[in-house]
Structure 1
Amino acid sequence: MKKIILTKLTMLVLLVSPSIAQQKESVGKSPWGPDDEIGTLNMMSDASKLSVLSQIVSGEVFDLSVDYFVGMPSFSALGDPGYQYWLTHTPHGTVVDNPNGLGKAMNEKVSYTGDAISMYTHMGTHIDALNHFGLNGKIWNGFTPDQYLGDKGWQKTGAETIPPIIARGVLIDIASYKGYENIKDNYRINSDDLKGAIKQQGIELKNGDVVLIRTGQAQFYEDATTYFHHFPGINMDAVKWLIEEQGVMLLGADNLSFETFPPESEDNWVPVHTYLLAEKGVMFIEQMNLEELSKAEIYEFAFIAASLKLKGASGSPMRPLAIPINSN
């Protein structure tokens, strides 16, 4: 069944005839200089981080990440590995194998458990680094694989360059605004949807915000079949409004791949990804859990997150947190 589902997803991506063509797509040159590797995360400053932290009004912390487990959803249709977990040491096995050479009595007294994992870096709650997608042989800021991609990963814009993120966070709850039943079938969230939800929630966006889009898909996260099936996502109109008109620094959503499929472009199978990462230098977080934040109707918060410093990697697991702040 899983293989059939993935095959269908691949067919949707490759065979469905889209309607809109992107024109003049090219990688962006950073306004922060030729050596910039973090794009719009340069919008953070000590002052901006201190400002949002000073507005915290509660000790309540919302964890916006998902669990990792064998069988968890993964965009494996293109051949990337799924999540694997195995035990390397168990209390009983240590007694039998005596790997530390300390003998039965010691190993019966001291119970030892160890384990290991193997996974694709774009699984679970994770951030896409700026080298994840490029255009015409280049990534953000004009870096090329010929010069900067070695056998051990990218020497530019790798996940290790992503700084800890502290900023004002905003939840735009599209699933509550429109009703999940009305958006579940590959719905493309547009700028009017965002504006309507923001108005209903009584908030406004500010330059340098972290904006999180709730589609409601996270409620199915532990059922990979349902989570994969016809998930809604943001469209080009919406991301252009967020980035070019609202000055958003970072984006996130609770679905599989931020945008949805089939693509709305006839000559780009991930137009939202390339627009954000390659053209605008905007990273984003995928597969978040925004359900508790939505239930509590917390729409403004201090967003605090850090990713693993995976040298050269195109993405990294992340555990974002939201702490309520004063509404301004």
Structure 2
Amino acid sequence: MADNNASGAGREVATSPYGIDDQIGRLNLMSPESRAAVISNIDGAQFFDLSVDYFIGMPSWQAIGDPSYQIWMTHTPHGNVVEGLPTVSREMTEYISYSGDAMMMYTHTGTHIDTLNHYGYNGRIYNNFTEHDHLASRGWQVSGADKMPPIVARGVLLDFAALRGVDMLPDRYGITAEDVDECLAHQGVDIQLGDVVLIRTGRMRDWPDAVKWGENPPGLTRPAAVHLVEKGAMIVGSDTMCVEQGPTTDPDNYTPVHTYLLAEAGAPLIEVLYLEDLAAAKVYEFGFFAACLRLRGATGSPLRPWVFPYRKQ
């Protein structure tokens, strides 16, 4: 078939230009020099936290069978007294007020990053690792969250809601490549090689209403995602649950942006970003800092991103 960026049909995973053992894709664009350049350009007087907090009842992917966020106490001060602690006297247990807890959730809950083993084509993921050879009973042996280095990069915010003069983009709005260029021109910024590009739709104004925030989200179309990568994006993130327009209009691929970015471009995604304060301050260029949990083989991980505005030139 002819190459058509609008369609996610008939695609294959890409071979990494960084070698047959590469498991981080475009994160290889970071270097000591690039990190030093970011740090030298930031204004440390102000920073923005782009994460959401975790709580029982928060929006999640439980509708398709994944566990909702749960947290429970494993120890309470009085409970320890009633039940007793091994080798600890009752008097000591009454004196020491010990609390502990445990949690359970899908790794794609809350603000998180998608790793390169999250999506692929025909049993393969980015750089031709296969389900047959690299997926064990407890998870992928390659390209998991444990392989991802801490992220220090230049970041760019594209505020599409402000571009259209609305609080939030309407349901199922598909952001096009032309929208990307219009937004860049409107804001007077550019995308450079190795950037983290963040997409604001305004959807976080409905957080944490699972229906209003989660259903029929606006987001990127495949051509827009291709355009961002061709301009230099290393990572793409958004304030929605899936970065891309949902449901997709592509009859041949139910997640064309995810499969393109992860399986073809080797570009991780960040989802459920809180971008409202950053947008209100009109901060469009910044230093982006984040690190995921080193969950061995995991297809995603909670992320705590924070940014510092770039100094005005």
For residues 14 and 78 of structure 2, what CA distance do their matches in structure 1 show?
Answer: 56
Match of 1:256 in 2: 241
1:96 paired residue number: 82
SS in 1 for 2:183: helix
* Aligned amino acid, residue 226 of structure 1: K
Q: Which residue of 1 aligns with 2:211?
A: 225
Equivalent pair of 1:184/1:230 in contact (CA under 8 Å): no
Task: Give the Å deviation of 1:99.
Answer: 1.6
Aligned counterpart, 1:292:
277
Which residue of 179, 183, 193 maps to 1:193? 179
Q: State yes or no: 1:109 paired with 2:95.
A: yes
Once structures 1 and 2 are overlaid, which stretch shifts more, 107-116 or 269-278? 107-116
What is the TM-score of this pair, normalised by structure 1?
0.90
Bigger Cα displacement from structure 2, 293-302 vs 40-49: 293-302
How far the C-alpha of 1:257 sits from its partner, in A, is 0.7
- The one-character-per-residue Cα deviations of 1:269-320 (angstroms, maximum 9, x if unpaired) are 1111111100111111001111111111111111000000110111111101
Q: 1:168 aligns with which of 133, 154, 157?
A: 154
Q: State the Cα deviation string for residues 154-209 of structure 1 (Å, max 9, x = none).
A: 11101100110000011111111113467221101112222222222221111111
Taking structure 2 as the reference length, the TM-score comes to 0.94
Q: Distance in 2 between matches of 1:89 and 1:60?
A: 38
1:150 paired residue number: 136
Match of 2:36 among 37, 50, 53: 50
Matched-pair contact (CA < 8 Å) for 1:40–1:249: yes
- Which of 227, 235, 240 aligns to 1:241? It is 227
Q: Structure 1 residues 181 and 295 mapped into 2: Cα distance closer, same or farther (>3 Å)?
A: closer
Contact 1:308 1:317 in 2 (8 A): yes
Kindly indicate whether residue 111 of structure 2 is the aligned counterpart of residue 125 of structure 1.
yes
Q: Does 1:303 align with 2:292?
A: no
Question: Residue 87 of structure 1 contacts residue 113 of structure 1 at CA under 8 Å; is this kept in 2?
Answer: yes
Deviation at 1:230, TM superposition (A): 2.4
Q: Specify the SS of the correspondent of 1:200.
A: helix
Shift of 1:81: 1.0
CA distance in structure 2 between the partners assigned to 1:79 and 1:43 by the alignment:
36
Deviation readout 1:100-144 (Å, 9 max, x if unpaired): 442333223221111110000011001000000000121000000
Q: C-alpha distance in 1, partners of 2:259/2:312?
A: 33
* Alignment match, 2:268: 283
Query: For the Cα contact (< 8 Å) 1:180–1:215, is it kept in 2?
Result: no
Answer yes or no: is 1:26 the counterpart of 2:12: yes
Name the CA distance, whole Å, in 1 between partners of 2:16 and 2:78: 56
Corresponding residue number in structure 2 for 1:41: 27
Where do 5+ consecutive residues of structure 1 fail to align?
1-19
Structure 2 letter corresponding to 1:258: V
Count matched residues: 308
1:49-107 CA-partner distances (Å, limit 9, x unpaired): 01110111233221111111111111222211111110111111122222244233322
Contact 1:131/1:139 (<8 A) preserved: yes
| Contact 1:95/1:103 (<8 A) preserved | no
What CA distance in whole angstroms lies between the structure 2 residues aligned with 1:42 and 1:190? 27
241, 261, 273: which is aligned to 2:258? 273
In 2, the alpha carbon distance for the partners of 1:144 and 1:319 equals 30
Conserved? CA contact 1:300–1:327, under 8 Å: no
Superposed CA RMSD in Å reads 1.5
CA 1:111 to 1:182, structure 2 compared with 1: closer, same or farther past 3 Å? closer
CA distance in 2, matches of 1:80, 1:191: 33
Larger CA deviation: 88-97 vs 33-42: 88-97
Shift of 1:21: 4.1
Q: Distance in 2 between matches of 1:92 and 1:226?
A: 41
Which residue in 2 is equivalent to 1:8? none
- Contact kept, 8 Å, 1:250 with 1:284, in 2: the verdict is yes
Q: Percent identity?
A: 48
Q: How many angstroms apart in 1 are the aligned matches of 2:8 and 2:241? A: 23
Aligned to 1:76: 62
Query: Contact (CA 8 Å) 1:127, 1:285: kept in 2 or not?
Result: yes
